[in-house]
Amino acid sequence: MRGHDWSWLHPVIICVIIAAVAYAMFNFGNVKRLVVGKPMRTRDLRESRNLLVWWMALPVLSADLYSSVAYGPEAGITELTGLGENAKWLILPITAMTVLLLMILITSYIMGVIAYPNGGGAYAISKDNFQRAWVPLLAASALMVDYVLTVAVSVASGVQNLASSYPVLQGHETSLSLLCVLIILLVNLRGISESSKVFAYPTYVFMACMLLMIGVGFWNELHHGFVQPHTPPFGVVPQGLTLMLLLKAFSSACSALTGVETISNAVPIFREGKNGAIKAYVALGLVTGVTLLGFAYHLYVKGISVNPNNTMLSQLAESYFGHGFLYQFIMWSTLVVLILAANSTFTGFPQVAALLAMDGYLPRALRLRGDRLGYSNGMIVLAALASLLVEIFHAQTNNLIPLYAIGVFVAFTVAQLGLIKRWIRVKGHWWRLKAGINAFGALITALVSVIFAVTKFTSGAWIVLVVIPLMIYLAMKVHRHYQDVADELRIDLKVDRPQQHRIVSVVLVSGIHRVVLDTISFAMSSTPNVFALYIGFDDESIEKMEEKWQAWGNPCRLVTVKSEYRSLLQPLSKFIRRLETYEGGKPDHIQLFIAQFVPKKWWHNLLHNQTSLLIRAWMLRHKDVVVTTVPYHLKK
Amino acid sequence: MRGHDWSWLHPVIICVIIAAVAYAMFNFGNVKRLVVGKPMRTRDLRESRNLLVWWMALPVLSADLYSSVAYGPEAGITELTGLGENAKWLILPITAMTVLLLMILITSYIMGVIAYPNGGGAYAISKDNFQRAWVPLLAASALMVDYVLTVAVSVASGVQNLASSYPVLQGHETSLSLLCVLIILLVNLRGISESSKVFAYPTYVFMACMLLMIGVGFWNELHHGFVQPHTPPFGVVPQGLTLMLLLKAFSSACSALTGVETISNAVPIFREGKNGAIKAYVALGLVTGVTLLGFAYHLYVKGISVNPNNTMLSQLAESYFGHGFLYQFIMWSTLVVLILAANSTFTGFPQVAALLAMDGYLPRALRLRGDRLGYSNGMIVLAALASLLVEIFHAQTNNLIPLYAIGVFVAFTVAQLGLIKRWIRVKGHWWRLKAGINAFGALITALVSVIFAVTKFTSGAWIVLVVIPLMIYLAMKVHRHYQDVADELRIDLKVDRPQQHRIVSVVLVSGIHRVVLDTISFAMSSTPNVFALYIGFDDESIEKMEEKWQAWGNPCRLVTVKSEYRSLLQPLSKFIRRLETYEGGKPDHIQLFIAQFVPKKWWHNLLHNQTSLLIRAWMLRHKDVVVTTVPYHLKK
């Protein structure tokens, strides 16, 4: 036998695991308790919110943005790999542009914090300022797309970093990433409060690692020179460089800027209120800027090249610290902080989804809080979508980057436009300056969005440009449906009151035995007009049934039908049509009684015809028939 | 973006297609009509049987056996590839042994036909002659395993032959094989009678092709010598040859012998009765023997080697006819006859499964005839299992062969032992001779089974040796369960009569609107004791509900419960426990009314909480509660 390729089992196994967990949770409360934890009361929601000092809130909220330094610069320079050594210096101006853009964004977002001190994401801001429903929907869908991508990119990048230090993991990136997503989902279903202090330390540790590395870099350069043997030439225009290529590299590097909105969404958790948030923004901007620039500079000096099996972060750390403890420590803290970034999205995405669901733009199920008070359905949707992306793109960060960050920039632009409208409407101190800052921000982010869409169109951005309008369209359809239903269901409490209805009942009987005895007893106790309907496949069985019914004392009218085509559904629905056009006047309701075996062991279900389920589903969908299921619990 | 490997989508796509077809069939009668055809009456069953002259029945029933010449000799010699040129002549004695075994089998089976002129497979024969249930079950499970393998091996071999002539198909064998299985399934669901004459021609054509090729081979040898430049040495004992290896090769070659039982199962379709069947057996044995020996001989003379991308049949045909019309014709007729072999199994497997189901050893659903009178459930199970094998073994005949044919030989042995017991019991003319023939047959097939199991154990036979006992065990469990249920359900028609029961009803209400109005009206019309149960998540909503209920005129008792854990199930089941231990005496039944939205468009289901389904499933399984679903058909 040859060695088999079992990779096709991958999605099957995942589906089986998910189904098994879902089944276990539904059937055995204990399993759910074990995985998700004890359910919490609704009133615990208020108590679980604790306020944080700004320098504790900062790391908690910045994992998403700050962790991007692990892949942002690399994503930028990867685009220029084809141009060779001479293009390597371009990482410096590209990173500088990115940092400049970061400053503009942060300034604009500070305006947002000033305007909405109770926290307000792009959806809330644009809903508050635009009449048309599609504008906030545009912001929301763009954000949601990007949240999904944040999970996929962060997890994939974290796993890639890990595989750089442990080559034995190479080739298993997809499985490991899927496993990470699953673990993050489970942890979040248990309900980790976003404002938990535990999240502060890993981010600070990672920041310290990055700053240490940058410091060591400068120390190294002081001793070995700022131009080292590997340093590529500076300032040369490499052959084949086009504006398009440059913009493409810039767009990719901008993937480092996702996550800026987190702080503005979470202003209420700051003990100092909006001032705390502003302080956090300034500090975060500074640290991120320094890190990006320093990291890019050292990459250039060391002349580090793109290597799909060894991230540039890993290569740089290796060049300073070899493969020792410090290197390992940096790699692990990178993984942890990237996973925290993915984790933070598990608060953001379900929140936006719940907001949309409350406004009737998404299925209501997304509005429900789970046992642990989180929006569990939203989390599950996020994990499923992110897993799908990871699986499709084989957990390769570079494949995912082209889809990434457009969403964020589109949402940025919409939110800024909303803020401008607000300043014009509300006025107040310095409103012209504030509106001007937002206008500039909007202009820049709109420009970046366009650059993104154009340069990355063929390599994946088109997917996002198709998905976002589709989401808006579907959200509108959903809204329309909910409104139609609400209109249809509204009644007048004074006029529309319950009334006595005439009911005709039909009991499906398959013979005469204990189950039929039970069902007939029940039916006759609940309604006066009961027909027993026997559908036989041949004349002998019908005759036998009629005789037995006689011997049983004719408890109610028996109707027998011969089904020449061995179908139950067809003669049954014909009989119901006959009842609907009954000579004695059409009944208000027809009620169908179906017995259902409930075996002790699950696999016994396979041994009993599940026709009753099919009949029930078909009748409810196609006929106006009330279906009553009378369970019979088997003893063995 | 790198080129993606989409192969993981394979099973997903297949599942989606199957689900879509099932959904369409269930919901749109027209689709089912189109795919499966107009339903047929049960009485058509008798009319569809038409009798055939023996020389028409022969090709119809022999596709399974005769088509095996396309892979049998190749499977044998493949085992000896490692020994080089010197081993090639061994194909001659191995094939001779196979043909000898075939003759023994046919003689034994003729005894079977004499004993059971109404047709009787291994299951029927052993059921008739053994008291213990496990003996016929052993025969039946062995046969069923082999039927599944026949489909997989035949289809895979046919596709491999096709890929030999059209290399562009190489690499897509698995998909093509799965497609073939699907098509065969659909054709069979439409219901092709086994005795249809159409099947006679392709088998005769294929026989003609094979005999022509053998003739041309001898012609070629008459002109170019019986020892040709490529002919390997004869009679040398190749280095490394062990008895084990030889037996292994022999076992593989025996895969050519599957399908001998078909004629004995189908005696009633012969116009001449058992004499026709015996004639057909003799003729089939002669033609198959000649073909196997001739084919093997020419393979040896031409010195043809095993090549995974070009079957030996294709190579031999190529050496005589080049790549011209005749070659193409032979290849296509091979494909057709192999597909017919797979097709014939779609009658055999469901028949055995239905027999077992009638005796209570398999789920009852396998006993039901579909719209076109075939046992459609059995066909679907067969197609699913065969597809699974094809997918797991990547449609490689050589991977499947080690699992193949043990089943047949085990079933052979059991049937022969049954026949011996019968001869001893019934006696009759020449009974000692007949019993002797069967005893010899049983000895030989038992020996072959053991050789098979030992030589192929590690390369796959262990799977079969695990599966067969497992099937027997499960069949016994199933039988036990059906007996228990029958005991439990039996009632005394004179004593156990329907009685008046006291019912308490609970209507789950989520507010006051048209759906609740409908449901309450219905519940109050059918039973006198109705409670409306409102489960609120906070105090305000409960207060509001109580006020509205007052304003609605208090149609029935309203019970409100606050669910601090936002669960409906938990307070509901608590309330039901309270009713069960009601002060006024426990009611005989508790009836739960649940309203269910039935939207116009399927995707609208996503927009309404499916909690009602979960509640229904949970209640039926865990509580003795009758569940009544009142549908509300949305207008938009």
State mean pLDDT over A312-333.
89
pLDDT tens digit string along A139-167? 999 989 989 999 999 999 889 888 888 88
Residues of A in contact with B607 (CB under 8 A): 363-364, 478, 481-482
Residues of B in contact with A618 (CB under 8 A): 26
SS3 label, residue A632? strand
Residue A25 and residue A63 share a domain: no
- Matching residue, tokens 């975060």: A284
Whole-complex ipTM: 0.78
Per-residue pLDDT at A426: 85
Report whether pLDDT(A3) > 50: no
Report whether pLDDT(B206) > 60: yes
Residue A493 is nearest to which of B4, B42, B551, comparing CB atoms?
Answer: B551
pLDDT tens digit string along A225-257? 888 888 888 888 888 888 888 888 888 888 888
Q: How far away is chain A from the Cα of B237, in angstroms, using its nearest Cα?
A: 26
State mean pLDDT over B252-279.
85
Q: Which residue of B has its CA nearest to A615?
A: B26
Per-residue pLDDT at A188: 81
State mean pLDDT over B620-625.
85
- The Cα–Cα gap between A594 and A580 comes to 19
Per-residue pLDDT at B535: 92
Report whether pLDDT(B293) > 90: yes
Per-residue pLDDT at A13: 62
Residue B211 and residue B71 share a domain: yes
- Supply B9's token pair: 């989508």
Choose from A608-617, B290-299, B609-618 the range with maximum mean pLDDT.
B290-299
Nearest to A303 by CA among A116, A77, A495: A77
Out of A375-384, B35-44, B320-329, B345-354, pick the least confident: B35-44
pLDDT tens digit string along A590-623? 999 998 888 888 788 777 877 788 888 888 888 8
User: A34 vs A324, which has greater pLDDT?
Assistant: A324
Q: What single-letter amino acid sits at B340?
A: L
Residue B548 and residue B448 share a domain: no
State mean pLDDT over B548-577.
89
Is-contact A403 A397, C-beta < 8 A? no
User: Would you say residue A335 lies in a domain?
Assistant: yes
State mean pLDDT over B16-21.
65
- The Cα–Cα gap between A39 and B564 comes to 9
User: Would you say residue A494 lies in a domain?
Assistant: no
User: Would you say residue A134 lies in a domain?
Assistant: yes
Q: How far away is chain B from the Cα of A50, in angstroms, using its nearest Cα?
A: 21
State mean pLDDT over B394-402.
83
Neighbours of A426 (CB within 10 A): 11
Residue A15 and residue A137 share a domain: no
Domain hosting B226: range is 50-482
With an 8 Å Cβ cutoff, are A631 and B628 in contact?
A: no
* Buried/exposed code over A381-409 (b: 16+ C-beta within 10 A; e: otherwise): bbbebbbebbbbbbbbbbbbbbbbbbbbb
Per-residue pLDDT at B599: 84
- The Cα–Cα gap between A325 and A323 comes to 7
SS3 label, residue A208? helix
Residue B299 and residue B199 share a domain: yes
- The Cα–Cα gap between A30 and B190 comes to 48
Residue B607 is nearest to which of A39, A363, A392, comparing CB atoms?
Answer: A363
What Cα–Cα distance (Å) separates residue B522 from each residue in A178, A501, A508, B503? 49, 6, 20, 15
Per-residue pLDDT at B323: 85
Report whether pLDDT(B70) > 50: yes
User: Would you say residue A266 lies in a domain?
Assistant: yes
User: B74 vs A17, which has greater pLDDT?
Assistant: B74
Number of domains observed in the structure of chain B: 3
Per-residue pLDDT at A18: 64
Residue A15 and residue A55 share a domain: no
What Cα–Cα distance (Å) separates residue A15 from each residue in A12, A316, A388, A488, B73? 5, 39, 12, 38, 42
Q: Determine phi and psi for A84, rounding to 5 degrees.
A: 85, -170
- The Cα–Cα gap between A166 and A286 comes to 33
SS3 label, residue A88? helix
Per-residue pLDDT at A145: 92
User: Would you say residue A511 lies in a domain?
Assistant: yes
Q: Determine phi and psi for B320, rounding to 5 degrees.
A: -90, -40
The dihedral sign for the CA sequence A416, A420, A423, A429: positive
- The Cα–Cα gap between A305 and A314 comes to 11
Is-contact B309 B163, C-beta < 8 A? yes
| CA B560 and chain centroid, separation | 53
Q: How far away is chain B from the Cα of A591, in angstroms, using its nearest Cα?
A: 9
What Cα–Cα distance (Å) separates residue B297 from each residue in B214, B246, B431? 9, 18, 39
Name the domain boundary from B434, B451, B482: B482
* pLDDT category of residue A1 using cuts at 50, 70 and 90: very low
Whichever domain contains A217, its CATH number is 1.20.1740.10
Q: What single-letter amino acid sits at A342?
A: A
Gyration radius of chain A's alpha carbons: 32
With an 8 Å Cβ cutoff, are B618 and A26 in contact?
A: yes
| CA A394 and chain centroid, separation | 18
pLDDT tens digit string along A200-223? 888 999 999 999 999 999 999 898
Per-residue pLDDT at A244: 86
pLDDT tens digit string along A539-583? 999 999 999 999 998 999 999 999 887 788 888 989 988 888 876
Residue A604 is nearest to which of B396, B481, B604, comparing CB atoms?
Answer: B481
Residue B240 and residue B146 share a domain: yes
pLDDT tens digit string along B467-481? 999 999 999 999 999
Residue B277 and residue B176 share a domain: yes
pLDDT tens digit string along A331-357? 889 988 988 888 888 888 888 898 899
User: B48 vs A109, which has greater pLDDT?
Assistant: A109
Q: How far away is chain B from the Cα of A67, in angstroms, using its nearest Cα?
A: 23
With an 8 Å Cβ cutoff, are B525 and A552 in contact?
A: no
User: Would you say residue B490 lies in a domain?
Assistant: no
Per-residue pLDDT at A287: 94
Q: Per-residue DSSP letters for A507-525?
A: EEESSSSHHHHHHHHHHHH
Report whether pLDDT(B606) > 90: no
- The Cα–Cα gap between B610 and B595 comes to 11
* pLDDT category of residue A291 using cuts at 50, 70 and 90: very high
Is-contact B338 B154, C-beta < 8 A? yes
Residue A585 and residue A472 share a domain: no
Report whether pLDDT(B193) > 70: no
With an 8 Å Cβ cutoff, are B497 and A555 in contact?
A: yes
Q: CB under 8 Å, gap of 24 or more: what pairs does B372-376 form?
A: B372/B36, B372/B37, B372/B39, B372/B40, B372/B189, B372/B190, B372/B191, B373/B40, B373/B42, B373/B44, B373/B45, B373/B48, B373/B191, B374/B188, B374/B189, B374/B191, B374/B346, B374/B347, B374/B350, B375/B350, B375/B351, B376/B189, B376/B350
Q: CB under 8 Å, gap of 24 or more: what pairs does A169-172 form?
A: A170/A309
Residues of A in contact with B178 (CB under 8 A): none
Report whether pLDDT(B11) > 60: no
Residues of A in contact with B606 (CB under 8 A): 363
Q: How far away is chain B from the Cα of A264, in angstroms, using its nearest Cα?
A: 30
User: Would you say residue B403 lies in a domain?
Assistant: yes
In a mutational test of the A interface, the residue from B522, B547, B600 whose CB has the highest number of chain A CBs within 10 Å is B522
Per-residue pLDDT at A27: 57
Nearest to A328 by CA among A166, A503, A212: A166
Residues of A in contact with B521 (CB under 8 A): 498-501
What Cα–Cα distance (Å) separates residue B500 from each residue in A523, A555, B497, B588, B620? 9, 11, 10, 9, 22
Residue B456 and residue B541 share a domain: no
How many percent of chain A have pLDDT more than 90?
Answer: 28
Per-residue pLDDT at B26: 57
User: Would you say residue B487 lies in a domain?
Assistant: no
Report whether pLDDT(B3) > 50: no
What Cα–Cα distance (Å) separates residue B104 from each residue in A592, B259, B374? 60, 14, 33
pLDDT tens digit string along A15-63? 666 666 666 555 556 666 666 667 777 666 655 556 788 888 888 888 8
How many percent of chain B have pLDDT more than 70?
Answer: 90
Residue A83 and residue A34 share a domain: no
Residue B538 and residue B408 share a domain: no
